[in-house]
Amino acid sequence: MSRRPLVRECPPTTWYFRQPRYMRYMSREITSIFVGAYCVLLVVGLQRLADGPMAWEGFLLALQSPASIVFQILALVAAVYHAATWFNATQKAMPIQIGEGFVPGKLISGAHYAAWAVLSLIVLILAGVF
Amino acid sequence: MAKSHKPVVWFPFAAGGTVIAFCMPVIVLLTLLAALGHAPAGLDYQNMHVFARSGLGKLIIFGVVALSLWSSAHRLRCTCYDFGLRADTLAATVLYAAAIFGSIAAAVFLARI
């Protein structure tokens, strides 16, 4: 009698419907699509900026189309979700040991959130939003 | 079998993930404000041009764009695989090439400003 290894069936395209945690994993994966597309938008914006004032105004005007607004709202949600999950993961990715014990994970993630808030606020102030 | 190309891929990925987490939400928020007709003064051509012409501005813009592109390419590669696309070499080649191309394009545009 030959021993056969246990091979679990794994449907390649629908495996993540099996468990909520797989779904959460995939929902984070999907954010990369919007973030990646937004990076392309940034490069295009840079080109328009290099092309001069008229091109830049045209770029800002093109941003106002309904499709662009919907996309940017989705990109904003994706970017915030990426940020939150990234900061939540920092406490697992880089635990800090002091003596025998570890710095509480919540403190590490919390510090990232605080730095994020301060940095975002500085950028908003420098951009003249307030 | 000590050498691996993985650190080369991984370092910009991790750096990019951090850059995206810290910078991307506020950048999207700024362009979204502009899209909704409330463009902040910082997005005026004059201000953007001054920022992108300074050495520090160029460095910040290129760093954010290039690292975000690379990180996104790496994540999209994983996403392709997770959605069942098993042609990983093809996906990696296309996506990394796109990220490198986008970074070079960003550098060229910045040099022209």
Residue A101: what pLDDT? Answer: 92
Q: Please indicate if any CB of chain A lies within 8 Å of the CB of B110.
A: yes
Distance CA B5, CA A26 (A): 26
Which pLDDT tens digit goes with each residue over B37-60?
999 999 999 999 999 999 999 999
Domain ranges in chain B? 7-112
CATH class label, B7-112: mainly alpha
pLDDT digits (tens, 9 = 90+) for B32-41: 999 999 999 9
Please indicate, yes or no, whether residues A73 and A124 belong to a single structural domain of this protein: no
Strand partners, A97: A102
- Predicted local distance difference test score (pLDDT) of residue A6: 87
Range 49-88 of A in CB contact (< 8 A) with B: 49-50, 53, 56-57, 60, 63-64, 68-69, 72-73, 75-76, 79-80, 82-83, 86-87
Contact predicate B42/B30, CB 8 Å: yes
Per-residue pLDDT for chain A (130 aa), expressed as one digit of tens each?
Answer: 678 888 888 888 889 998 999 999 999 999 999 999 999 999 999 999 999 999 999 999 999 999 999 999 999 999 999 999 999 999 998 889 999 999 999 999 999 999 999 999 999 999 999 8
pLDDT value, residue B1: 47
DSSP A66: H
* Encoded tokens for A26: 């995939």
**B83–A13 CB contact, under 8 Å:** yes
Mark whether A118 and A70 lie in a shared domain: no
Q: Is residue A3 part of a domain?
A: no
Taking the C-alpha atoms of residue B88 and residue B73, their distance in angstroms, rounded to an integer, is 12
In a domain, A40, yes or no: yes
Q: Are A61 and A112 in the same domain?
A: no
Model pLDDT, residue A1: 62
The tokens describing B70, both together, are: 């690379």
> Which pLDDT value is given to residue B71?
94
Model confidence at B61: pLDDT above 50: yes
Please tell me whether residues A55 and A115 are part of one structural domain. Answer: no
Over the stretch B1-36, which tens digit does the pLDDT of each residue have?
A: 456 777 777 888 889 999 999 999 999 999 999 999
Same domain? A47 vs A20:
yes
> Same domain for A57 and A110?
no
In a domain, A4, yes or no: no
**Cα Rg of chain B (Å, integer):** 17
Is residue A76 domain-shared with residue A107, that is, in the same domain?
no
Domain carrying residue A116? 101-130
CATH number for the domain spanning A57: value is: 1.20.1300.10
Nearest 5°: phi and psi at A6? -75, 120
Q: Cα–Cα distance between A90 and A116 in angstroms, integer?
A: 13
Torsion B75-A69-A66-A51 (CA) sign: negative
Shortest distance, CA A43 to any CA of chain B (angstroms): 6
What residues contact B84, with CB distance under 8 A and at least 6 apart?
A: A12, A13
Smallest CA–CA distance from B28 into chain A, residue: A76
Does residue A110 form part of some domain?
yes
Token pair listed for B98: 């796109």
Answer yes or no: do A129 and B33 touch at CB < 8 A.
Answer: yes
Give the number of domains in chain A.
2
Count A/B contacts: CB-CB distance under 8 Å: 147
Hey, is the C-beta of B24 within 8 angstroms of any chain A C-beta?
yes
In whole angstroms, what is the distance from residue B65 CA to residue A60 CA? 18
B71 contacts: CB under 8 Å, gap ≥ 6: B12, B13, B14, B15, B16, B17, B19, B20
